[in-house]
Every structure is written in C-alpha cells, then in structure tokens.
C-alpha cells in the first residue's frame, strides 16, 4: 500500500526554525519532493532529495533517509510569508504521491 | 517561466452533465497531470500522460477520463458529473521522459461545483 504521514498543523514564531517531518510508504520509491502552497495559490516546487542526506536551498533545507522511509523540511529564519501548506511527495516510477500536507502558521 | 493555464477558475455544472476541464502548458513538457484537492484529503492524482495520446491511471481515476491529442493540451473529462466530484482540480506539467525527477509546474486550479 501507499501512505504518507505529516503533521497536519505547525505553528512557529517569526525568525525561528521549524522542522516538518514526513514518513512515507510507497512502491517504487525514487526520491522525495517538497512543495509549498499558499492559500488560494498553486503548489510550487521547493526541493528534491534523490539520495540520503541534506540538501540546502537558501533558508530551506530538506533531508532524506531512505532506510527509515523518512524525510524532513527545515525552514530557517522564518518569515510571515512562509505561512503556507507544505507537502512532501515521494516520487514513484513517473509520478508523485502527495499527502494531506502540513499547514504552517508563522506568528509575530 | 513555465505557464500552465487552466481554462476556468470557477465552474458550476449540474449532476449528469459531461464536463470538460482544459489545461494548456507552453513549455513543450512531455508529462502532464490532473489532481483534485479536497480539505483533509490533500492532492490526489487522477490521471497523467507522458506523451501525446498516452494516458495512465492515477490513484483515483473512477468517474474520469482524459484526452491528450496535442502535446501542450491535457483535458480532464467527467463523463457524468456527480456531487462528489465537487472539488478543486489542479493541472500540472513537467519535462523529461522515463524515470527521474523534474519539478511539476501547476496551474491556478479550477474550482468545480456540481449541483
């Protein structure tokens, strides 16, 4: 079967660091993507991990452990504009499997 | 910049109608996808296509069909609309063939209401 687990909601303070965890179970796993979606907007690509380890892109980092079927998205120096939903999405053979996402609220 | 355009932002139809949702991308992408997004259920893949006239079922294809006659256009068809198909529908495209990752670029979505 296929399953994804992410926290449904996270609240963090502006300027702080927040980590959004993702555990997954899919057939034919190739890597883990992360997407951001603001309310009323389209999902936009943030990062992709094909190999174990940490990938850094500016204030955002993403981590993958294939042996644990686990990944996380790390957001540093949080800004109010980071308030959005964040989706982890394992890559199957030629398509992504999205879950229900994590709603991040950044407070002053 | 990649542009994925969905024909309607809002659409209201009646049960039993045949409904067409259109999606066009301008970057010559091989892959196109249709998702629906519902509160508490996230994004779910309905159908995708990796080439003209090719289609693959996603996770929830029942009640839907698709058409890809041209590379830039991917249509989602609700054969006989039902109220449980009221949802936000998102189209996406990505480049590349075969295995491997390319980011998906999403349209702004069509909010479809079936009355």
What pLDDT, in 10s, does the model give residues A10-20? 999 999 999 99
Q: What are phi and psi of A12, to 5 degrees?
A: -145, 160
Beta pairing class for B10-13 and B110-114: parallel
Residue B43 C-beta-side C-alpha neighbours within 13 Å: 29
Which tokens sit at A72?
Answer: 């996380």
Tell me the mean pLDDT in the region A47-62: 95
Least confident interval from A65-74, A79-88, B37-46, B97-106:
B97-106
Q: Do B90 and A45 touch (CB under 8 A)?
A: no
- A7 — contact with chain B (CB < 8 Å)? no
Give the model confidence (pLDDT) of B21-80 as tens digits. Answer: 999 999 999 999 999 999 989 999 999 999 998 999 999 999 999 999 999 999 999 999
Q: Give which of A95, A97, A101, A103 to mutate to test B binding, by max B Cβ within 10 Å.
A: A95
Least confident interval from A67-76, B13-22, B96-105:
B96-105
- Quick one: DSSP state of residue A24? E
Distances, alpha carbon B22 to alpha carbons A37, A99, B2, B33, B70, in Å: 22, 24, 17, 12, 12
């Amino acid at each position: 079967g296929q399953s994804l687990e992410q926290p449904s909601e996270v609240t963090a303070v502006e300027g702080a660091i927040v980590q959004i965890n993702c555990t997954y179970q899919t057939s034919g796993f190739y890597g883990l993507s992360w997407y951001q979606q603001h309310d009323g907007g389209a999902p936009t690509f943030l990062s992709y991990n094909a190999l174990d380890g940490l990938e850094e892109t500016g204030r955002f980092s993403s981590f993958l452990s294939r042996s644990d079927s686990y990944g996380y998205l790390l957001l540093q120096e949080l800004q109010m504009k980071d308030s959005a939903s964040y989706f982890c999405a394992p890559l199957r053979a030629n398509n992504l499997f999205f879950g229900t996402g994590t709603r991040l609220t950044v407070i002053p | 910049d990649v542009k994925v355009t969905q024909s309607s932002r809002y659409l209201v139809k009646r049960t039993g109608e045949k409904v067409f949702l259109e999606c066009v991308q301008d970057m010559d992408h091989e892959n196109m996808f249709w998702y629906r997004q519902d509160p508490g259920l996230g994004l779910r893949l309905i159908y995708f296509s990796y080439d003209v006239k090719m289609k693959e079922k996603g996770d929830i294809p029942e009640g839907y069909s698709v058409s890809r006659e041209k590379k830039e256009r991917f249509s989602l068809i609700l054969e006989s609309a039902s109220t449980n198909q009221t949802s936000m529908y998102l189209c996406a495209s990505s480049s590349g063939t075969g295995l491997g990752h390319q980011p998906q670029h999403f349209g702004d979505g069509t909010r479809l209401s079936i009355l």
